[in-house]
Amino acid sequence: MRQGKSLTGGVDWILLAVILVLMAMGIATVYSTAYLPDHSNIFDFSQVYGKQIMWAGISLFLGLLVFLIDSDIYRKFALPIFLFSMALLVIVLFMPARNGAHSWLGIGSLGIQPGEFAKIATAILLARYLGELNQKQQTIKTVVIANGIILIPMVMILLQPDAGTFVVFTSFLFVMYREGVTYDPIILKVVNLIPGIKFRQTWVGSHFIPILFVVVFLSVTTLLFSNEIIELSMFPGTEIPGYYGVLFFIFLLCILVYVALRLAISKRDAKRAAIIAIIGFVLAGTITKAVDSGFQKLAGHQKERIELFLGLTDNEQAKNGADYNRNRAIASVGSGGLFGKGYKNGTLANVRSAHVPESETDFIFCPFAEEWGFAGTLVLVFLYLFMMLRIVIIAERQRSKFNRVYAYSVAMILFYHFAINIGMSIEFAPVIGIPLPFFSYGGSSMMSFSMMMFILLKLDSQRKDVLN
């Protein structure tokens, strides 16, 4: 099946170079952020910058090991890898909590986050399953299995709870959409149970992205009104929860849609239009109720972060309270100006000033922006966008569907981390604690991203030898 070739033959050196550049920039930023005069040596392993160099070295070593493995191994052992990863997610639930979450597996200060490595396992198994799936012969079983591969780790991570990693796993839905996996078999099965109605196909599959945005809109609208109490003027003294107001608005919208369809179509299709309007209302109502119930069950700090992002709290009161992180983050980013204050000259986003919490991890973008300014952040953003675009190019040149699905999974995971992490620092995303790939301090994220990328490099290097 394969031709003999050198170890480095076919390696995408451009992507590898970008990875190494980002890793070096991240180490330099961590050093600048956590620098202490009494521990000026960057190789001081008692400090986070010394440890970051150690993690980078270990990550590159692990990356080399996974690169040495024949790419067929990942395909053949996709399920055992996934099951092992899920076992770790179960074990971690019984470990002592750190910062309110059971997400660390280890002893003392040494440990890993299984959730980070679960992304790789999920990407591999999803690539294996979708790679063998005939897009034109989708059934309820195939759709359920494809979604189950994603939902199982999501549920395990939600139990920890780790909101950031949970959100990242939704990136796989876009990968499924790219590969043509739709919910049509399930929708057709449910709709055709209604007497007198017979659909052969739906337009849900080809309109997945617009529908997803509608779901997001309904969810955000529900959250905006979830804590509101609506008084009915026609019934003095009668009050209803805010989400019922959203539901009433959806009901009116469905009626308007039905009336518009009824006027535009024949009587024969009027019944279908009515069924569609009813189903739309039921689904929308289910979404609003689920979002409201889920929001009420969130931990206090998680609810606060969402409310802050949606502007549901008093900004003045929250500046030094619940919104402390975002307030300090945006101040440090803005203080960088056009060209920044210079390397190691930051005064707000560093460990010494403690102005920005977690400045070497979740808010690593802040010290970089303060030191290098708007011009420097443009360079950083360009590097990440270039890396993701390069991965998309790599995905599209694959002969193997397994390789393509895995490459798109990597691209979407990176995009989520990139967009949310930087968005947290500039008030474009809620604070959910998510690292910037190859930049933030942390062993688990550095190792997982390195292994993820080196597996991709290996698959791509052998793309010409694989036909399926």
CB 40 within 8 A of CB 32: no
More confident: 101 or 162:
162
Contacts of 229 (CB under 8 A, 6+ apart): 239, 240, 241, 242
Per-residue confidence (pLDDT) for residue 200, from 0 to 100: 59
Of residues 274, 275, 286, 267, the one with CA closest to residue 191: 275
Closest Cα partner for 271 from 390, 191, 337? 191
What's the confidence (pLDDT) of residue 350?
77
Contact 216, 230 (CB under 8 A): no
Which residue has 């910062």 as its token pair?
A: 99
Measured between alpha carbons, how far is 14 from 34 in angstroms, rounded to an integer? Answer: 30
Tell me how far the alpha carbon of residue 231 is from its chain's centroid. Answer: 38
pLDDT at 430: 76
pTM above 0.85, yes or no: no
Q: pLDDT tens for residues 319-357?
A: 555 556 777 788 888 888 888 888 888 888 777 776 777
What the block records as the tokens of 174 is 């876009």
Distance CA 49, CA 367 (A): 14
DSSP state of 435: P
Residue 104 binned pLDDT confidence (cut-offs 50, 70, 90): confident
H or E segment to which residue 107 belongs: strand 105-107
As a whole number of angstroms, the distance between CA 186 and CA 68 comes to 42
- Give Dmax over CA atoms of the chain in angstroms: 83
Which residues face 229 on adjacent strands? 241
3-state percent breakdown (helix, strand, coil) of the chain, nearest 5: 65, 5, 30
CA distance 189 to 194: 10
Tell whether the model's pLDDT for residue 365 goes beyond 80. Answer: yes
Predicted pLDDT of residue 3: 45
SS3 36: strand
% of the chain beyond a pLDDT of 90: 28
Which run of H or E residues covers position 414? Answer: helix 401-425
Q: At residue 275, does pLDDT exceed 70?
A: no
Euclidean distance between CA atoms 429 and 412, whole angstroms: 17
Alpha helices in 93-183 (DSSP H): 114-131, 140-158, 163-168, 171-178
pLDDT at residue 169, rounded to an integer: 92
Per-residue pLDDT, 323: 58
- The answer on pLDDT for 249 being more than 70 is no
Least confident segment among 180-189, 257-266, 380-389, 432-441: 257-266
Give the residue carrying structure tokens 């002969």: 399
Q: What span, in angstroms and rounded, lies between the C-alpha atoms of 113 and 93?
A: 11
- The rounded mean pLDDT for the chain is 78
CA dihedral sign of residues 169, 171, 175, 177: positive
CB atoms within 10 A of CB 270: 14
- HSE toward the beta carbon, residue 209, CA cutoff 13 A: 8
Q: Residue 376: enclosing H or E segment and its boundaries?
A: helix 365-396
CA dihedral (306, 310, 311, 314) in degrees, to 10, reads -20
Q: Which long-range contacts (CB under 8 A, 24 or more apart) does 388-393 make?
A: 388/414, 388/415, 388/418, 390/12, 390/14, 390/15, 390/18, 391/15, 391/456
In sign, the C-alpha dihedral spanning 386, 390, 396, 402 is negative
Question: Do 400 and 383 contact (CB within 8 A), yes or no?
Answer: no
Residue 5 Rama label (left phi>0; alpha psi -120 to 50; beta) = beta
What per-residue confidence (pLDDT) applies to 4? 46
Q: Which DSSP state fits 323?
A: T
- Smallest CA-to-CA distance from 211 within 244, 242, 174 is with 174
Q: Is residue 452 predicted with pLDDT exceeding 90?
A: yes
301: number of Cβ within 10 Å? 12
| Cβ 328 vs Cβ 355: under 8 Å | yes
Quote the Cα angle for 267-272-274, to 5°: 90
Q: What pLDDT is attached to residue 1?
A: 41
Q: How confident is the model at residue 111 (pLDDT cuts 50, 70, 90)?
A: confident
Distance between CA atoms of 267 and 284, rounded to whole angstroms? Answer: 26
